[in-house]
A and B are shown apart, each in its own frame.
Chain A
Amino acid sequence: QVQLVESGGGVVQPEKSLTLSCAASGFTFSSYGMHWVRQAPGKGLEWLAVIWSDGSKKYYADSVKGRFTISRDNSQNMLYLQLNSLRAEDTAVYYCRTTTALFDYWGQGTPVTVSS
């Protein structure tokens, strides 16, 4: 069965960096685009970034463009999100997601808290 398992979250100081990982299994990872979505405490969902199946294209939300970088390693079935220059408003649960017309899968999320 499809599994997406995020890791790498934690408490980090403002202006510091963090890299989140998403381990994928149960499907042909290299064939599908991958997304990151976050949810601040008590708030709604915010789409962050997408990367094409072969890594050739990436799109970002305006709120994270220039600070966050999405990447993938198809040989390891891994998705990454590098978070730089972190701010208090980046505090959220970060989800990875893969979707097509036929299916839509989310991980359980990894929490990131930006605090001094």
Chain B
Amino acid sequence: DVVMTQSPLSLPVTLGQPASISCRSSQSLVHSDGHTYLNWFHQRPGQSPRRLIYKVSNRDFGVPDRFSGSGSGTDFTLKISRVEAEDVGVYYCMQGTHWPLSFGGGTKVEIK
């Protein structure tokens, strides 16, 4: 099974400053169809998760352009160019390439 490892576990950030979260998979996430099924989710306390990014770098509808995803193979990154107050919560990466699907352990973003 594919293990997804996120870092850091906790990320204190200053409003207006950039933030970056890393996600590594235990094996390549390149599917036999050529696509890489790596998603990013954001979950606020008491709410359901919301997908931000699909297939490494594609923003979902309505997601601000301050969010960007990058990476390939086994190493992926979510970047927030300028953190806003509404960005607090937990961020998860998730691989959709191999069965069973799997999530990273999460990164908690909080304001300093």
Contacts and interface: CB of A to CB of B under 8 A. Distances in A.
Interface of A: 35, 44-47, 50, 59-62, 95, 99, 101, 103-104, 106-109
Contacts of A106: 48-50
Nearest to A65: B100
B48 A109 contact: yes
B1 interface: yes
Interface residues of B, number: 24
- Chain A facing B: main interface SS: strand
Contacts of B39: 104
Given A62-B1, A104-B60, A106-B48, A44 B105 contact: yes
Nearest to B104: A44
Interface of B: 1, 39, 41, 43, 48-51, 54-55, 58, 60-61, 90, 92, 94, 99-106
A107 B50 CA distance: 11
A101 B51 CA distance: 11
A45 B50 CA distance: 12
Nearest to A102: B61
